[in-house]
Amino acid sequence: MAQVTVYGHRESVEQRRDALSEAIHGAVVSALAYPPDKRFHRFIALDACDFVHPPDRGRDYTIIEISMFEGRSEAVRRELIRELFVRIEAGAGIAPHSVEITITETPKVNWGIRGANAADLALGYTVEL
């Protein structure tokens, strides 16, 4: 499971929402061997007064937070971050300097999905990569 939250300036998010979603999903599918039909993205568009950051990040400054099951190797997490930078620049036109990414991993037992504890579900994809 990978839940993605994207924060950015309202104008940038509204202009690039679809391109960002495509870039993020492509990176997740590629790096995590994630099923293409599983896309969980939330976009939080912020007014300038609600999004304080250093001025050198620019109006396209974007924060991406990914919450996922633990189990991926360091190499896989590094590949995901690399893929995100490449795909976001190519697909959404946002320079890597203006993108920050955090990954938070938690045990499956800490997730409730489709009415069950995730530790008890057959997921249909591999988490331990």
User: How much is the average pLDDT of 4-16?
Assistant: 97
> Per CATH, which fold does 2-120 belong to?
Macrophage Migration Inhibitory Factor (3.30.429)
User: How much is the average pLDDT of 61-65?
Assistant: 98
CA 16 to chain centre: 14
Report the pLDDT value the prediction gives residue 113, as an integer from 0 to 100.
86
Cβ atoms of 99 and 62 closer than 8 Å: yes
d(CA 49, CA 58): 14
The residue ranking higher by pLDDT, 56 or 120, is: 56
Report the pLDDT value the prediction gives residue 129, as an integer from 0 to 100.
67
Helix (H) / strand (E) element for 116: namely strand 116-117
Residue type, 41: H
Note the pLDDT tens digit of each residue in 69-124: 899 999 999 999 999 999 999 999 999 999 999 999 998 888 888 888 888 877 77
* Residue boundaries of the structural domains of the chain: 2-120
φ/ψ bin of 124: left (φ > 0), alpha (ψ from -120 to 50), beta (otherwise): left
Which pTM was predicted? 0.91
Report the pLDDT value the prediction gives residue 116, as an integer from 0 to 100.
84
Note the pLDDT tens digit of each residue in 19-38: 999 999 999 999 999 889 98
Structure tokens at 127: 């988490």
Report the pLDDT value the prediction gives residue 16, as an integer from 0 to 100.
97
